[in-house]
């Protein structure tokens, strides 16, 4: 079963933040539908008085850049769909998720795992 999510990422001051719009969706289409539903209404948890909003679509048609012009500042965020790879229904991805004594094979790159002792 797939585990898809829609997320928002933005830079605030000196830190990067990620917020989940939705998570635990079975299909990419479900997560993408929820992401597209909030494109024109999503506001960050920061207090911004919106004067203008521009929505840009990336070439993959699944990621968006939202630019909100406030009274004093301009705020940007990226909305995208992501998949939890350990729950992937894609056989090519699932095949790469191998475990050796509770740790992923280093050659496969980062993987979802619980640290030893949890």
Burial class (CB in 10 A: 0-12, 13-18, 19+), 83: middle
**Gap between the Cα atoms of 20 and 9, Å rounded:** 9
Q: What's the confidence (pLDDT) of residue 87? A: 64
Average pLDDT of the chain is 81
Region of 93 please: left (phi>0), alpha (psi -120 to 50) or beta: alpha
Q: What's the confidence (pLDDT) of residue 13? A: 75
- What's the pLDDT tens digit per position in 22-68? 988 989 999 999 999 999 998 876 678 889 999 999 999 999 999 99
Domain ranges of the chain: 4-83, 89-118
**Gap between the Cα atoms of 18 and 36, Å rounded:** 17
Least confident stretch, 12-16, 28-32, 55-59, 81-85: 12-16
pTM across the whole model = 0.71
């Amino acid at each position: 079963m797939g585990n898809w999510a829609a997320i928002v990422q933005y830079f605030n001051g000196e830190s990067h933040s990620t917020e989940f719009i939705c998570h635990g969706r079975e299909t990419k289409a479900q997560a993408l539908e929820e992401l597209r539903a909030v494109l024109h209404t999503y506001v960050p948890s920061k207090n911004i008085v919106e004067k203008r909003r521009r929505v840009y679509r990336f070439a993959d048609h699944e990621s968006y850049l939202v630019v909100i012009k406030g009274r004093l500042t301009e705020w940007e965020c990226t909305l995208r769909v992501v998949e939890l790879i350990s729950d992937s229904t894609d056989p090519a991805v699932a095949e790469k998720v191998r475990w050796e004594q509770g740790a992923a094979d280093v050659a496969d790159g980062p993987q979802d795992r619980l640290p030893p002792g949890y």
